[in-house]
């Protein structure tokens, strides 16, 4: 009855008519749709899909679906009251909030937008994720960075007026990614930051020896700060072509500590301004003022280091065949691009990498048999302590990569991915118009048995490939049959996938590899619910790892 009534509604008829017009335009422009089901994390074959049959199936679904207004969820009043002091969501993590709503409303629900924020549709259905990604278009819109965009557009100097960087959208964003992708995403450029990262990594090994207790061999309660500094130095040495020395006891300058602290302020403000109801678009709230101040500081410091690199480049022009740093390559393209990309790498890469490293270390410490198997692989490739990682020998470490992938499954970094729908779609049985903001909670499904048997166990073997695919192996039994390729996307998907993926991959592999080569890692404390998710997962327990030196 609900569908019959809605079908008679003139508004719905107009939407369907508009949708059909859009479909006809798409058919004229694109005779065949190339749909690349290619995850940045999982090797997936590319499929050719006949656009006409695909569009026809979407059209048939639309005509049978329930209207958008029928989707259950939280009202504006419930959103505002829930996040107020004493409200149902006041001290709740984002993951817990989404799970609570899922229990109440089901796998598809809405969270009403307040104070200028758009309404968000939350989805737990994997089939819906695939529809969204397959129709996102050439310039996918990924919401979530509105507060950064607001800051950049409001700057009085107008620096970002023509270029918003990774937070931008449309053709302007497409031009930016087109400019930076060859520098950051081509495999051959990874060698540009291999040596500086390796130096930072070995400083971290020495830092562990300096701060651990001589008797217990355990690091202090605040060891997460040292992991955070490792992540900062690893990203900064690429983004700013400079070693700040934060891992050492005495940083090189006050600017190092200032930049590090302001990046922490930036990330802490992100949840309060980007997810919780906030008036920052209308008045400068105290939280926004702190955020704005931190952004100003990050901009000023980043600009200075980029300008210093520009001076070096002008005074010492590159010779034929000479390799330049990532920053210098970006400067060759455009100074503004170099500054914005450096800022975006620092803001997006430090806290994320730090949290993933904490998760990886915890998984390895709690699973000694897996740790030993990893160590054997590492020592087979790097038998001596003074051996170093190279681009060649890192190709021979499949179990190392499997351990990292499994840690990201056990302790996901975020709930999933955000998009605006690129077409009118039926999601969860409802008509969802183009331009709707959606949360795809793929990472919140990674611990469900239907997708990953023995999901609560840390089993890197499930990610190993085998030469004879016809043979059923133990690891193949640890992944559900016909596993949907859109469930495991730690670096996003498609054109909007993480531009710094290769940098992060290299840092994670080198950090875990070196720590396991030099130490036996233990964690002898309670570890129930070790992470809390406020937009990104962060440790909620002291990471008092025990690091025992290895002799070989």
For 41-76, the pLDDT digits (tens) are 333 333 344 566 767 777 888 999 999 999 999 999
Q: How confident is the model at residue 249 (pLDDT cuts 50, 70, 90)?
A: low
Q: What is the mean pLDDT of residues 371-382?
A: 97
Which of 405, 343, 295, 365 is closest to 539 using CA atoms?
365
Q: What pLDDT shows up at residue 480?
A: 65
Rounded distance between C-alpha atoms, residue 396 and residue 376, angstroms: 12
Spatial distance between the Cα atoms of 191 and 378, rounded to a whole number of angstroms: 20
State residue 38's pLDDT score.
31
Q: What is the DSSP letter of 392?
A: T
Question: Residue 39 — very low, low, confident or very high, per pLDDT cuts 50/70/90?
Answer: very low
CA separation for the pair 148, 270 (Å, rounded): 9
Average pLDDT over every residue of 335-344:
96
Cβ-count burial of 250 within 10 angstroms (0-12 exposed, 13-18 middle, 19+ buried)? exposed
| pLDDT of 28 above 60 | no
- According to DSSP, the residues that pair with 539 across neighbouring strands are 531
Rg over alpha carbons for the chain, rounded to the nearest Å, is: 24
Q: Are 420 and 359 within 8 A, CB to CB?
A: no
3-state secondary structure of 440: strand
Per-residue pLDDT of 146-155, as tens digits, reads 999 999 999 9
Q: Does the pLDDT of residue 227 top 50, yes or no? A: yes
Nearest to 267 by CA among 350, 340, 378: 350
Q: Across all residues in the chain, what is the average pLDDT? A: 85
Which of 95-99, 293-297, 321-325, 383-387 shows the lowest per-residue confidence on average (mean pLDDT)?
Answer: 321-325
**Which pLDDT does position 254 carry in this prediction?**
78
Distance of CA 303 to the CA centre of its chain: 25
The predicted pLDDT at position 18 comes to 43
* Cα distances (angstroms) measured from residue 125 to each of 44, 54, 56: 20, 19, 21
Q: What is the pLDDT of residue 257?
A: 83
- Poorest-confidence range of 46-55, 111-120, 333-342? 46-55
Query: Around 405, how many Cα atoms within 13 Å sit in the side-chain half-sphere?
Result: 19
Determine the Cα–Cα distance for residues 427 and 10; give it in Å rounded to an integer. 21
Please check the confidence at residue 364 and state whether its pLDDT lies above 90.
Answer: yes
220 DSSP 8-state letter: P
Kindly report, as residue ranges, where domains of CATH 1.10.630.10 are found in the chain.
165-413+490-549
Q: What is the pLDDT of residue 49?
A: 44
Stronger pLDDT, 255 or 439, i.e. the higher one = 439
323 burial type by CB count under 10 A (0-12 exposed, 13-18 middle, 19+ buried): exposed
pLDDT band for position 432 (cuts 50, 70, 90): very high
- CA atoms of 419 and 440, how far apart (whole Å): 8
For residues 92, 98, 102, 103, the Cα torsion angle rounded to the nearest 10 degrees is -20
Q: Looking at the predicted structure, is the pLDDT value of residue 470 above 90?
A: no
Distances in Å between the alpha carbon of 158 and those of 10, 163, 164?
A: 44, 10, 11
Residue 52: per-residue pLDDT: 67
Residue 41: what pLDDT?
31
Residue 4 has pLDDT above 80, yes or no: no
pLDDT tens by residue, 403-418: 999 999 999 999 999 9
pLDDT of residue 88: 85
pLDDT of residue 527: 92
Question: Does position 172 have pLDDT exceeding 50, yes or no?
Answer: yes
The CATH superfamily label for domain 165-413+490-549 reads Cytochrome P450 (1.10.630.10)
Q: How confident is the model at residue 290 (pLDDT cuts 50, 70, 90)?
A: very high
């Amino acid at each position: 009855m609900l569908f019959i009534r809605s079908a008679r509604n003139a508004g719905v008829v107009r939407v369907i008519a508009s949708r059909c017009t859009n479909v006809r335009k798409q058919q004229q422009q694109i005779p065949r749709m190339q749909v690349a089901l290619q995850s940045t994390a999982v090797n997936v074959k590319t499929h050719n899909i006949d656009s006409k049959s695909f569009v026809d199936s979407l059209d048939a679904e639309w005509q049978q679906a329930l209207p958008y207004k029928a989707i259950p969820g939280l009202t504006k009043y419930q959103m505002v009251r829930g996040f107020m002091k004493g409200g149902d969501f006041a001290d709740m993590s984002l993951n817990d909030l989404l799970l609570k709503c899922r229990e109440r409303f089901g796998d598809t629900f809405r969270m009403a937008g307040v104070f200028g924020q758009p309404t968000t549709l939350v989805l737990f259905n994997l089939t819906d994720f695939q529809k969204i990604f397959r129709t996102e278009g050439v310039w996918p819109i990924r919401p979530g960075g509105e507060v950064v965009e607001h800051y950049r557009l409001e700057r009085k100097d107008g620096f970002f007026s023509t270029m918003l960087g990774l937070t931008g959208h449309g053709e302007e964003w497409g031009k930016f990614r087109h400019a930076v992708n060859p520098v950051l995403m081509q495999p051959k450029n990874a060698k540009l930051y291999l040596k500086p990262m390796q130096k930072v990594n070995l400083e971290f090994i020495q830092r562990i020896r300096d701060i651990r207790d001589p008797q217990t061999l355990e690091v202090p309660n605040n060891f997460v700060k040292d992991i955070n500094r490792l992540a900062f130095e690893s990203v900064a040495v690429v983004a700013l072509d400079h070693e700040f020395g934060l891992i050492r006891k005495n940083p090189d300058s006050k600017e190092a500590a200032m930049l590090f602290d302001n990046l922490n302020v930036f990330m802490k403000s992100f949840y309060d301004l980007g997810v919780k109801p906030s008036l920052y678009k209308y008045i400068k709230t105290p939280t926004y003022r702190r955020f704005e101040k931190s952004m100003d500081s990050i901009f000023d410091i980043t600009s200075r280091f980029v300008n210093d690199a520009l001076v070096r480049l002008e005074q010492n022009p590159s010779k034929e065949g000479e390799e330049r740093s990532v920053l210098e390559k970006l400067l060759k393209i455009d100074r503004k691009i170099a500054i914005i990309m450096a800022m975006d790498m620092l803001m997006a890469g430090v806290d994320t990498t730090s949290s993933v490293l904490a998760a990886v270390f915890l998984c390895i410490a709690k699973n000694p048999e897996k740790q030993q198997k990893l160590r054997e692989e590492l020592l087979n490739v790097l038998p001596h302590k003074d051996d170093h990682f190279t681009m060649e020998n890192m190709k021979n470490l499949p179990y190392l990569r499997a351990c990292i992938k499994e840690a990201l499954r056990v302790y996901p970094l975020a709930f999933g991915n955000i998009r605006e729908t690129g077409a009118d779609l039926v999601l969860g049985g409802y008509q969802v118009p183009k331009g709707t903001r959606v949360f795809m909670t793929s990472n919140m499904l990674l611990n469900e048995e239907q997708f990953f048997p023995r999901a609560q166990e840390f089993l890197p073997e499930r990610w190993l490939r085998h030469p004879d695919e016809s043979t059923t192996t133990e690891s193949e039994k640890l992944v559900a049959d016909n596993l949907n390729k859109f469930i495991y996307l730690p670096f996003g998907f498609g054109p909007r996938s993480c531009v710094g993926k290769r940098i992060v991959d290299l840092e994670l592999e080198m950090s875990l590899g070196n720590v396991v080569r030099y130490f036996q890692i233990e964690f002898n404390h309670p570890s129930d619910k070790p992470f809390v998710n406020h937009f990104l997962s962060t440790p909620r327990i002291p990471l008092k790892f025990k690091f025992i030196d290895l002799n070989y």
